[in-house]
Amino acid sequence: MRRSERLMQTLQILRDGQLHRARDMAEQLGVSVRTIWRDMATLAANGLPIEGERGMGYVLTAPITLPPIALTRDELEALRLGLTLVSSGEEATLARASGSLRAKIAAVAPGGMEEAGSDSFVFATAEAARAARFLGTLRRALREHLTLTLHYRDPRGTETERRIRPLRLEYWGNVWILTAWCELRGDFRLFRVDLILSVQPDGTAFLPEPGKTVDDYLARFAEP
């Protein structure tokens, strides 16, 4: 059983508002008592109103539950981006709540539905508007690890064609930035999405290679 499925089943057990012993839940779910202890800590850390402790049992207090709903990948992404917008606002209570809700969604999202792309919301700028037409293609390439053929005009006006491995998509205040491994340069490059002229998946999927991942890129800026 996947961890996300186990957490969902655990919540179903606790929904009755009764006290449940870790040992009983472990037998019901076919896991160890230590696993239940860790799951309770995870759920509590994600903001669920769980009370109890080892040896005593656990209870879900005053839960607010919704009926099961099925979301498409795009609907889930829209929900995540909306929550990110709220979390960046000035209302502290709602900002904390949005962060907690995002953590709950991440805990139960099916495999393959992990977040990809940016943790920021698109605000209305001219640069963001020019970038918008490419974001869907870039997000798909990030999710499916697709190599892209990129026709690009840099800020100086020089046009080039690149074959890249997209690694990360971020919103930097005014512009969307794509971090990628550039096959032409044999190195990492940053591309402003609003300066892309055209982009197409070339039908090739890539696997992470040592030295060519986003973690390798970020490691360059780590303190020694």
Residue 212 has pLDDT above 90, yes or no: yes
- The number of domains in the chain is 3
E-strand ranges in 87-208 read 146-153, 159-172, 175-182, 187-192, 196-205
- pLDDT band with cut points at 50, 70 and 90 for residue 75: confident
119 domain-assigned: no
Between the ranges 42-51, 64-73, 112-121, where is the mean pLDDT highest? 42-51
CATH number of 165's domain: 2.30.30
> Within a domain: residue 41?
yes
The amino acid sitting at 145 is H
| pLDDT tops 50 at residue 122 | no
Residue 194 lies in a domain: yes
Q: What is the pLDDT of residue 112?
A: 56
Which range in 13-17, 31-35, 49-53, 74-78 is most confidently predicted, on average pLDDT? Answer: 31-35
Between 188 and 8, the higher pLDDT residue: 188
**What is the per-residue pLDDT across 19-34, written as a single tens digit (0 to 9) for each?**
999 999 999 999 999 9
Specify if 90 maps to a domain: yes
182 part of a folded domain: yes
* Full residue range of the structural domain in which residue 19 is found: 3-60
CA distance linking residue 23 with residue 183, whole number of Å: 54
81 domain residue, yes or no: yes
Among residues of the chain, what percentage have pLDDT more than 90? 33
Whole-prediction pTM: 0.51
pLDDT of residue 92: 67
Q: How far is CA 156 from CA 99, 171, 195, 199, in A?
A: 39, 21, 11, 20
User: Which of the pair, 153 or 127, is modelled with greater confidence?
Assistant: 153
Residue whose pair of structure tokens reads 């919540």 in the numeric block:
11
Are residues 161 and 184 located together in one domain of the fold?
A: yes
d(CA 14, CA 24): 12
152 and 103 inside one domain? no
87: confidence class by pLDDT, cuts 50, 70, 90: low
